[in-house]
Amino acid sequence: MIKFIKQTTEYLQSKGFDKPEIGIILGTGLGKLIDDVNIIHEVSYNHIPNFPTATVEFHKGKLIYGELEGKTVVVMQGRFHLYEGYSLQDITYPVRVMKALGIKTLLVSNASGAINTNFKKGELMLIEDHINLQGSSPLAFKGVDQLGERFVDMSQPYDIEINSKFESIASSNSITLHKGVYASVVGPQLETKAEYRMLKIIGADAVGMSTVPEIIVANHLNLKVAAVSVLTDECNPDNLKPVSVEEIIAMANKAEPQLAKLFKELIKDL
């Protein structure tokens, strides 16, 4: 993997990806933050050596280098998921590449379902902690200790200082920002009523199919990391209604201006 990371990094550097400060992963329906980026260079995933290719139709599949609020950023417009058939090492490979390019901070967004019945669709949730229900770890491979500490401490996976800044920005801009625990499952099917009940019992406030692998690897690489979920549907097992992917994307798009505001104000302050 070290050889592959070196090849990928050198390719991107040859395309002008020069020492970005901040990495950003944009989740389902959350690609419009790109409109605020002064794009300097962009490359399709399928042109990048050793990079996976996004197979989900609503994920764009581009790596973008540019400026946002005075900072140099590298943005993943579209991410990878276990349900696409990729390994956890594939899914998190871009995080390792962004670190090799120079980022010190990683900001992540996703769309998720609200387990906590006090949370409503269209609102945002700052992830304070997570539960990994994806069945494995992105660090479970031979030679991982050549890339960082094998036994990564996860007592505080999300940066306290960044989370505090997010809360302050939300308060100043009258944005509802809940705090909670995110559970990451495999998917791609949505959960049953019984599964939602289980998730609530074990302490989840929201559920999705991404993010946790990237957070684990960010901690492996000693990056500062924070993540925000857009709550796109309400998962009350006692009043569960069918929901389509189209509805989820529409709700993510509706909430996106608030998320973009949070991210831009934070980046300005980093």
Q: Residue 245: which of 80, 61, 76, 113 has the closest Cα? A: 113
Eight-class DSSP state of 3: H
pLDDT digits (tens, 9 = 90+) for 70-96: 999 999 998 999 999 999 999 999 999
pLDDT at 57 over 70: no
CA 74/CA 264 separation, integer angstroms: 14
Give the model confidence (pLDDT) of 4-20 as tens digits.
999 999 999 999 999 99
Whole-number average pLDDT of the chain: 93
Helix (H, G, I), strand (E, B) or coil at 22: strand
User: CA angle 255-256-262, nearest 5°?
Assistant: 105
Distance CA 220, CA 242 (A): 38
Q: Which of 29-38, 102-111, 135-144, 173-182 has the lowest mean pLDDT?
A: 29-38
Q: Helices 88-101 and 212-220 sit at what angle, rounded to 10 degrees?
A: 50
Residue 56 — very low, low, confident or very high, per pLDDT cuts 50/70/90? low
Are 225 and 215 spatial neighbours (Cβ–Cβ below 8 Å)? yes
Q: For residues 190 and 113, give the distance between their C-alpha atoms in angstroms, rounded to a whole number.
A: 9
Put residue 129 in one of left, alpha, beta given phi > 0 → left and psi -120 to 50 → alpha: beta
The neighbour count for residue 140, using CB atoms within 10 Å, is 11
Q: Which two tokens stand for residue 13?
A: 């550097």
125 bridge partner residues: 178, 229
Give the architecture-level CATH label for domain 2-269: 3-Layer(aba) Sandwich (3.40)
Q: What DSSP string describes 53-81?
A: ---STT---EEEEEEETTEEEEEEES---
Domain boundaries, the chain: 2-269
> What was the pLDDT predicted at 58?
52
> What would the pLDDT profile of 171-205 be if each residue is shown by its tens digit?
999 999 999 999 999 999 999 999 999 999 999 99
Burial of 148 (0-12, 13-18, 19+ CB in 10 A): middle
What pLDDT score was predicted for residue 82? 94
* Separation in Å, CA 140 to CA 102, 136, 237, 250: 24, 7, 34, 36
- Provide the pairing of β-strand 224-234 with 124-132: antiparallel
Model-level pTM? Answer: 0.94
pLDDT digits (tens, 9 = 90+) for 133-171: 999 999 999 999 989 889 999 999 999 999 999 999 999
